Chain A
Amino acid sequence: MRFGPVEAGFREDLNLSQSSQATGGLASIPALLQRNATLFAEKDAYREKEFGIWQSWTWAETEKEIEALALGLINVGVNEGDFIAIIGRNRPYFYWAMVAAQSIGAVPVPVYNDSSAEEMAYILGHCGARFVIAEDQEQVDKVIDIQDQLHQFEHMIYVDPRGMRKYDHHQLHEYSHIQDQGRAAYDEWIVDLKERRAKLTYDSTCVMLYTSGTTGKPKGVVLSNRNIVESAKNASEFDNLRADDEILAYLPMAWVGDFIFSLGQAYWTGFCVNCPESPETMMTDLREIGPTYYFAPPRVFETQLTNVMIRMEDAGKFKYKMFHHFMEHAKRVGPNILDGKPVGFMDRLKYKLGDFLVYGPLKDTLGFGRVRVGYTAGEAIGPEIFEFYRSLGINLKQLYGQTEATVFITVQPDGEVRADTVGVPAPDVEIKIADNGEIFYRSPGTFVEYYKNPESTASTKDAEGWVATGDAGFFEEQSGHLRIIDRAKDVGKMADGAMFAPKFVENKLKFYPDILEAVLFGNGKDRCVAFINIDLTAVGNWAERNNVAYASYQELAGHPRVLDTIQEHVEAVNKSVAADPMLSGCQIHRFLVLHKELDADDGEMTRTRKVRRVIVENKFSDLIEGLYDGSPQVSTETEVTYEDGRKGAIKATLDLRDAAIVSTASKVAAE
């Protein structure tokens, strides 16, 4: 993909004539910052709730803060090309840190702040970070623990000084002190800073993000300024994002999505990034801010819907009836109104009334009152959950992407939104489907390389720039929308040659609020079996309502009545799976409800909460064996890791259950 004068037309309305060539002006995030500090000087760029009040920084103030930090970093000895690890939750200071790092030619490497010390040791060691910018004592302690393994590590900077007065401050600096030193040394370093900033090109590295990866060690994905700026520009134009938009930054900073939304797009369009007070206050803060542009993984939407439903169960009779009456109506006409399809006058009138009585207040409570564009990505979302939000009039859409593509591969345009597809190719993205169904793409967002891993780079990206997604899918003929079937490597064959696509079945299971996670096994076997994780919130509420006493997750998960309910769900899913001629072999013959939640701390999931299939399969091999050999019960002992890294073990005896199978012509049930 070449960037030439052809693109200039897009930017005329933004009064950015100097940018007709990216290299001339807006070739980097720091360049965009300078533009914003002039163009949107007095407009809020960042807000963070602290001490109960939304503190804000305008773009002009932001530039000053970042400049002070950048000068301070030069002052402590950051060189061009150095890696700076950034470990913290979404706070303006860390976004500034990333841009400050870029300004002085260093590469920011955001790290998941809930990573264990070993995970951090790998990442910091792999990129050879000389500097770490961490949030607080907890993160500082983690880095100190692994310091001996990090040969290149030199200095650490922390934001929150609490509890660290007694620490040895030879290598440790407070963020605000670094900024003060930077301001004090302005005359000394400003020329250097300007020179370094001027050297940034469209091809210099913008950020390095480690993909959690469902297998193996994390890989460092190198993204250039071109990747970020082009992707941010395309996506912002696609959805008409404006400088007066508001977002809430609450997703992990190490995730490419947050980098694009809260940095790339924010700097491209100049909108305001709002940071919650703490992770626990996210819902309150969401409501106070009322973002206009919003993104969340399906899980967040599921949780919110579950909460709404639980609270409606507790509501008075009148409210309960009114809610269900109008939700019924919304389900029927809401999505059509949203898509601009013809809807009768009376229906519209009733929808208006419903909006006044139910949808409006509900959206307000959820914090979605002002959402113009909402995205869900990362996993498939349940059609009912998706429809629920759309029927309320929330423009929720799906996109399909990955870190290597700088997020965007396909997106759903307004008015063409469906639960079962992921949309059409995003602007400037080319897609081809290989014979085995694997999706390949090529775009301006295509990553530069995996850091220090040429083999993986070569096996993922070919010479012409086509990248293998690892996902299997196909384009629907009539609509031109992409449909994802599963991870290409997870798609297998059953013993009789029928197609095995675990995610297809797992998603159907996960669409039930009671089921948090499901893992299907059956590759190369004659029948499928499944592990299920219950959703403690939903099932716990059910238990309370039905006087089912339980003391622990484990006990609730093993309760016979819970198993009955799950069995109903499994059998309903079997019916639905049987209806698909291609995948009817994937019906679940036996299942069990796991005694513990699959957890990233135990390595069973990635930090973005995707199941690591192979690890689960090995770890619980005794249970899988039990499911296949027909035993009614299996006793097992599982090692668990606590958040502070200590290990323990839990013992359990699990009931294994048979589920009814719908026989199809092509396949006889094996029972």
Chain B
Amino acid sequence: MSTQESYVTDDGRTIGPTVMEMKNITLRFGGVNAITDISFDIREGEIRAIIGPNGAGKSSMLNVISGFYVPQEGEVWYKGAKRPQMKPYEVAQQGIARTFQNIALFEGMSVLDNVMTGRIRQMNAGLLSQALWKGKAQKEEVENREVVEKIIDFLEIQAIRKTPVGRLPYGLKKRVELARALAAEPSILLLDEPMAGMNVEEKEDMSRFVLDVNDEFGTTIALIEHDMGVVMDLSDRVVVMDYGKKIGDGTPDEVRNNQAVIDAYLGVAHD
């Protein structure tokens, strides 16, 4: 699977060539194989889902992409070049942002401040300038605040702009986390179970936001999700994992009819 031609989806989005490719990734913790020899690619502008039962290694996979885990074997190719071993912040600098399964926000800070932290890569005024709030620091903050405000507007969280994150309900925290990831203006957005623990209405809202992000900003999205309905509706292609192995890869329809996938989800009688 190398670079392919761009194509246009049924709903009018353009899916570009491969932007990231995982080649034969194996990740071990001691004697446990979390991921065994998995390869797949992510194409520009698509929504790529990684699904699988609990413990299948989905979050580990995301952590490999984000540079948090270093696989023992295999290579990560990004924008046509092999990625050397990197610290997570270096990966972030390459334009890969993420949200976490167990919300990782600054609870005591306001929503606005939390989202502003997503702009940290774009701010490089010196300590003195920051402390005196003069010159470059001030200019930077105004520019970045503008970007952040657009995202706040986009995700419809104006009403909680000044609310400390700790006081927000779960569904909104998830949205704030998405806002912070978006603030980094990533080219690839990794979402770790963006809809876990949400009710139907919140899931619908979140799905809408994910689609809109992809549509408006052209952001490539890789997401992990449990809710099959959501995954099948949202994604262009799906990777299915079970016990650290890839058991399926393809469009939602292909995956839905894949016997190995059906077995993994519905269970299969042991002879």
* A residues adjacent to B (C-beta < 8 A): 50-53, 162-163, 165-166, 277-278, 280-281, 284
Chain A residues near B215: list those with CB within 8 A. 163, 165-166
Measured CB to CB, the nearest residue on chain B to A280 is: B159
Chain A residues near B146: list those with CB within 8 A. 51
Chain B residues near A162: list those with CB within 8 A. 154, 212, 216
Could you name 15 residue pairs across A and B whose Cβ atoms are closer than 8 Å? Answer: A51-B146, A51-B153, A52-B152, A162-B154, A162-B212, A163-B215, A163-B216, A165-B216, A166-B11, A166-B12, A166-B13, A166-B215, A277-B159, A278-B156, A281-B158
Interface centre among B149, B152, B158 (most CB of A within 10 A): B158
Chain A residues near B161: list those with CB within 8 A. 52
1/0 per residue B146-177: CB within 8 Å of A? 10011011101011010000000000000000
Chain B residues near A50: list those with CB within 8 A. 153
Distance between Cα atoms of A303 and B211 in the complex (Å): 36
Question: What's the nearest-Cβ distance from chain A to residue B143, in Å?
Answer: 13
Distance between Cα atoms of A427 and B126 in the complex (Å): 66
Q: Does B208 contact A (CB under 8 A)?
A: yes
Distance between Cα atoms of A153 and B215 in the complex (Å): 28
Question: What's the nearest-Cβ distance from chain A to residue B12, in Å?
Answer: 4
Q: Does B145 contact A (CB under 8 A)?
A: yes
Chain B residues near A278: list those with CB within 8 A. 156, 158-159
Chain A residues near B158: list those with CB within 8 A. 52, 277-278, 280-281
Per the 8 Å Cβ criterion, residues 153-210 of B in contact with A are 153-154, 156, 158-159, 161, 208
Task: Across the A-B interface, give the 4 residue pairs with the lowest CB-CB distance, nearest first.
Answer: A280-B159, A51-B149, A166-B12, A281-B159
Chain A residues near B153: list those with CB within 8 A. 50-51
Distance between Cα atoms of A52 and B147 in the complex (Å): 11
Distance between Cα atoms of A281 and B145 in the complex (Å): 19
Count CB-based A-B contacts (< 8 Å).
37
Distance between Cα atoms of A281 and B163 in the complex (Å): 12
Q: Does the CB pair A52–B149 fall under 8 Å?
A: yes
Question: What's the nearest-Cβ distance from chain B to residue A178, in Å?
Answer: 21
Question: What's the nearest-Cβ distance from chain A to residue B45, in Å?
Answer: 13
Partner among A53, A163, A281 whose Cβ is within 8 Å of the Cβ of B212: A163
Distance between Cα atoms of A166 and B14 in the complex (Å): 11
Distance between Cα atoms of A277 and B146 in the complex (Å): 15
Chain B residues near A280: list those with CB within 8 A. 158-159
Question: What's the nearest-Cβ distance from chain B to residue A137, in Å?
Answer: 9
Distance between Cα atoms of A506 and B158 in the complex (Å): 37
Distance between Cα atoms of A165 and B214 in the complex (Å): 12
Per the CB 8 Å criterion, the residue count for chain B at the interface is: 19
Distance between Cα atoms of A166 and B214 in the complex (Å): 12
Distance between Cα atoms of A615 and B13 in the complex (Å): 47
Partner among A52, A163, A165, A284 whose Cβ is within 8 Å of the Cβ of B145: A52
Q: Does the CB pair B150–A165 fall under 8 Å?
A: no
Given contacts A51-B150, A52-B145, A284-B159, 16 further A-B contacts (CB under 8 A): A51-B152, A52-B149, A52-B158, A53-B149, A162-B154, A162-B212, A163-B208, A163-B212, A163-B216, A166-B11, A166-B215, A277-B158, A278-B156, A280-B158, A281-B158, A281-B159
Chain A residues near B150: list those with CB within 8 A. 51
Distance between Cα atoms of A114 and B216 in the complex (Å): 26
Measured CB to CB, the nearest residue on chain B to A50 is: B153
Question: What's the nearest-Cβ distance from chain A to residue B204, in Å?
Answer: 8
Distance between Cα atoms of A50 and B161 in the complex (Å): 12
Interface centre among A52, A162, A165 (most CB of B within 10 A): A52
Chain A residues near B216: list those with CB within 8 A. 162-163, 165
Distance between Cα atoms of A278 and B154 in the complex (Å): 12
Measured CB to CB, the nearest residue on chain A to B11 is: A166
Chain A residues near B208: list those with CB within 8 A. 163
Distance between Cα atoms of A92 and B153 in the complex (Å): 17
Chain B residues near A52: list those with CB within 8 A. 145, 149, 152, 158, 161
Question: What's the nearest-Cβ distance from chain B to residue A158, in Å?
Answer: 15
Chain B residues near A281: list those with CB within 8 A. 158-159
Measured CB to CB, the nearest residue on chain A to B161 is: A52
Chain B residues near A51: list those with CB within 8 A. 146, 149-150, 152-153
Q: Does the CB pair B154–A163 fall under 8 Å?
A: no
Chain B residues near A53: list those with CB within 8 A. 149
Measured CB to CB, the nearest residue on chain A to B9 is: A166
Distance between Cα atoms of A605 and B212 in the complex (Å): 34
Measured CB to CB, the nearest residue on chain A to B209 is: A163
Distance between Cα atoms of A280 and B215 in the complex (Å): 26
Distance between Cα atoms of A580 and B80 in the complex (Å): 86
Distance between Cα atoms of A284 and B160 in the complex (Å): 10
Question: What's the nearest-Cβ distance from chain A to residue B145, in Å?
Answer: 7
Measured CB to CB, the nearest residue on chain A to B204 is: A644
Question: What's the nearest-Cβ distance from chain A to residue B156, in Å?
Answer: 7
Q: A50-B153, A51-B153 are in contact. Are A165 and B12 (CB under 8 A)?
A: yes
1/0 per residue B212-233: CB within 8 Å of A? 1001100000000000000000
Q: Does the CB pair A163–B149 fall under 8 Å?
A: no
Distance between Cα atoms of A53 and B161 in the complex (Å): 12
Interface centre among A51, A53, A163 (most CB of B within 10 A): A51
Question: What's the nearest-Cβ distance from chain A to residue B236, in Å?
Answer: 14
Distance between Cα atoms of A603 and B256 in the complex (Å): 41
Distance between Cα atoms of A404 and B248 in the complex (Å): 66
Question: What's the nearest-Cβ distance from chain B to residue A218, in Å?
Answer: 28
Distance between Cα atoms of A281 and B159 in the complex (Å): 5
Chain B residues near A165: list those with CB within 8 A. 12, 215-216
Chain B residues near A284: list those with CB within 8 A. 159
Measured CB to CB, the nearest residue on chain A to B156 is: A278
Q: Does the CB pair A163–B211 fall under 8 Å?
A: yes
Distance between Cα atoms of A163 and B159 in the complex (Å): 21
Question: What's the nearest-Cβ distance from chain B to residue A136, in Å?
Answer: 11
Distance between Cα atoms of A52 and B159 in the complex (Å): 10
Question: What's the nearest-Cβ distance from chain A to residue B163, in Å?
Answer: 10
Question: What's the nearest-Cβ distance from chain B to residue A576, in Å?
Answer: 39
Distance between Cα atoms of A277 and B153 in the complex (Å): 9
Distance between Cα atoms of A455 and B156 in the complex (Å): 46
Question: What's the nearest-Cβ distance from chain A to residue B243, in Å?
Answer: 38
Measured CB to CB, the nearest residue on chain B to A642 is: B201
Chain A residues near B212: list those with CB within 8 A. 162-163
Interface centre among B153, B154, B161, B211 (most CB of A within 10 A): B153
Measured CB to CB, the nearest residue on chain B to A51 is: B149
Question: What's the nearest-Cβ distance from chain B to residue A271, in Å?
Answer: 25
1/0 per residue B120-157: CB within 8 Å of A? 00000000000000000000000001100110111010
Question: What's the nearest-Cβ distance from chain A to residue B8, in Å?
Answer: 11
Question: What's the nearest-Cβ distance from chain B to residue A141, in Å?
Answer: 11
Chain A residues near B159: list those with CB within 8 A. 277-278, 280-281, 284
Per the 8 Å Cβ criterion, residues 8-54 of B in contact with A are 11-13
Distance between Cα atoms of A53 and B146 in the complex (Å): 10
Interface centre among A50, A53, A166, A281 (most CB of B within 10 A): A166
Distance between Cα atoms of A277 and B149 in the complex (Å): 12
Measured CB to CB, the nearest residue on chain B to A281 is: B159
Question: What's the nearest-Cβ distance from chain A to residue B10, in Å?
Answer: 10
Distance between Cα atoms of A31 and B212 in the complex (Å): 42
Chain A residues near B145: list those with CB within 8 A. 52
Question: What's the nearest-Cβ distance from chain B to residue A187, in Å?
Answer: 35
Question: What's the nearest-Cβ distance from chain A to residue B56, in Å?
Answer: 32
Distance between Cα atoms of A278 and B216 in the complex (Å): 21
Measured CB to CB, the nearest residue on chain B to A643 is: B201
Distance between Cα atoms of A52 and B141 in the complex (Å): 14
